[in-house]
Structure 1
Amino acid sequence: MSERRLISSGSTFEREIGYSRAVVDGDWVHVSGTTGFDYAAMTITEDVVEQAEQCWRNIDAALTEAGASTADIVRVRYLLPDAADFEPCFPVLRRWLGEVRPAATMQVCGLSDPRMRIEIEVTAHKNSRIPVSHPSG
């Protein structure tokens, strides 16, 4: 029987809404939809590409705490209010996951704060690791 472990980023959203940044269940790591907020400062840039980069830094921190890495990601979901914002993010997404190539979906939808221009959710499986080089940011 696997043990469930909760991971928090310290974001006020987690406390206010009642969820975890990530949940570890055995070898599986489920990372909640993660936005471009710098959770330490609770600030967010207006630029969608910078938000995408911050999303990945936030996701990477949660995966690291879970004992996983981006190399373990098997599923990614991109949520954007404006489909036109997706293509400018391609270089950031490719840098973080280009060698991993997980199953992916992009969905156009509203997000909970109008400042948010992208949200990224991932699922990782620790035993599926593909050797990859880690982006420098």
Structure 2
Amino acid sequence: MTRKHITTGSPFERDIGYSRAVVVDGWVFVAGTTGYNYDTMIMPESIEEQCENTFKTIAKALWEAGSRLDDVVRVTYIIPDKAEWPKCWPITSKAFANARPAATMICADLQSPDMKIEIEVTAKIGS
């Protein structure tokens, strides 16, 4: 079994001890990803901007793994405030217009109070 680790260079990955994504046997497992802009390390205020940033980070990790959003088969959304969830629907439906993965939304606190969404995906390369 070969294993490839993908990183964004985020200090969280180093400090906590995880990879943005791990590729094993044609599968890509992308860690829970929040809405930071990793170029500036700034967290936008709105859930919509955070959701967009999250998908950019996930798409980049998938690309580095040889995959793409259209290969995603499973997605989990974690949202502290379920009232904000519908604001993300236009973004999520656009991101997964082709993949239409199995999905779950969970309400839970996130690592920092400024985080409004966290997204985790699993993709099968070339699916």
TM-score by length of 2: 0.98
Aligned 1:49-88 pairs, distance under 5 A: 49-88=48-87
What percent identity do the matched residue pairs reach? 48
Shift of 1:100: 1.2
C-alpha separation in 1, matches of 2:77 and 2:97: 15
Residue type at the aligned position of 1:113: S
Which residue pairs with 2:93 in the alignment? 94
Which residue pairs with 1:29 in the alignment? 28
What SS does the aligned partner of 2:19 have?
Answer: coil
C-alpha separation in 2, matches of 1:59 and 1:127: 16
What SS does the aligned partner of 1:127 have?
Answer: coil
User: Are 1:11 and 2:47 counterparts?
Assistant: no
Which residue pairs with 2:121 in the alignment? 122
What SS does the aligned partner of 2:95 have?
Answer: helix
- Deviations along 1:29-86, one digit per CA (max 9) or x if unpaired, are 0000000001122111010011000000000000000000001100000000000111
* Preserved contact between residue 11 and residue 40 of structure 1 (Cα < 8 Å): no
Shift of 1:95: 0.6
Aligned 1:95-114 pairs, distance under 5 A: 95-114=94-113
C-alpha separation in 2, matches of 1:40 and 1:27: 29
Aligned residues: 127
What SS does the aligned partner of 2:77 have?
Answer: strand
Structure 1: where are the runs of 5+ without partners?
Answer: 129-137
C-alpha separation in 2, matches of 1:77 and 1:104: 6
Residue type at the aligned position of 2:95: W
Shift of 1:98: 2.1
* Preserved contact between residue 10 and residue 40 of structure 1 (Cα < 8 Å): no
After superposition, the CA RMSD in angstroms is: 0.7
Which consecutive segments of 4 or more residues in structure 1 shift more than 3 A?
none
Structure 2: where are the runs of 5+ without partners?
Answer: none
